[in-house]
Amino acid sequence: MENDFLTIALPKGKLLIDSIQRLSRIGIDCDHVNEDSRKLFYDLPQSKVKIIICRATDIPTYVEYGAADLGIAGKDTLLEENKDVIELLDLKFGYCRFVVAMPEGSVPPKLPNGEYDLSGLNHQRVATKFPRVAETFFSEIGMQVNPIKLHGNIELAPCVGLAEMIVDIVSTGKTLRENHLVEVAPILDATSRLIANRVAYRMKYERIMDIAGKLRNDMNEVANEGGSST
């Protein structure tokens, strides 16, 4: 019966390989799902699962509207998209950090506690893919900024005068370094999460909790063996 099937939305891009590995390890036969193909959905009748491949930033939308029962998305995307979904599990891969960064030549002075004094940045322009995250961070410290929404290569913006600073993801720090930008404030850390549609969570509770439980056990087993969980 069609309703026995569970639809899982996976993000193309950086999180796809780990997502496939995690699902494969708990017996969902999705090893053949790959990004090089232009195929965007896969039926896995043995596992009674359909996999759909979405842009990372669209995963919460597919799950909120019920086009997917489950999805895997970065916490950064969940905060920015702010969709009505249930966050079931921290999968602990795809680690990255949100930061505020500025050109080396214009970093603000430091406070006695060693943090940068951001107060002079009030009402300045922030280039970012994450305007909600940026505005929330600054409003929590009593400041207002003018977000300029971009879709990529954020680090370019302050180098060419489009914005005074950026709010972006840092992983290795290479992109900041190569563009002469300095982190002036951490915002938060992000990892990938298993999310569920609210209705599916009630209607398909046992299957969803079975998958979430198996993913959690798999992570614990890998951690107990002392290895990386990805």
Ligand X SMILES: O=P(O)(O)OC[C@H]1O[C@H](OP(=O)(O)OP(=O)(O)O)[C@H](O)[C@@H]1O
Ligand Y SMILES: Nc1ncnc2c1ncn2[C@@H]1O[C@H](COP(=O)(O)OP(=O)(O)OP(=O)(O)O)[C@@H](O)[C@H]1O
Which residues are near ligand X by CB under 6 A?
152-155, 168-175
Binding interface with ligand Y (CB under 6 A): 11, 13-15, 55-57, 74, 76-77, 94, 96, 169, 171, 190
Q: Which is nearer to ligand Y, 71 or 74 (CB)?
A: 74
Choose the one of ligand X, ligand Y, none that binds residue 15, judging by a C-beta under 5 to 8 angstroms depending on kind: ligand Y
Indicate the residue whose CB is closest to ligand X.
152
Q: Which is nearer to ligand Y, 11 or 131 (CB)?
A: 11
Tell me how far apart the alpha carbons of residues 156 and 80 are, in angstroms, rounded to a whole number: 21
Q: Which is nearer to ligand Y, 100 or 190 (CB)?
A: 190
Tell me how far apart the alpha carbons of residues 123 and 146 are, in angstroms, rounded to a whole number: 6
Residue 208 vs residues 71, 84, 109, 157, 205: alpha-carbon distances, Å: 11, 17, 50, 42, 5
Residues forming beta bridges with residue 169, ordered by sequence position: 98
Q: Is the dihedral of CA 112, 161, 147, 177 positive or negative?
A: negative
Residue 174 has a CB neighbour count (10 Å cut-off) of 9
Choose the one of ligand X, ligand Y, none that binds residue 57, judging by a C-beta under 5 to 8 angstroms depending on kind: ligand Y
CB of 98 to ligand X, least distance (A): 10
Q: Which is nearer to ligand Y, 10 or 163 (CB)?
A: 10
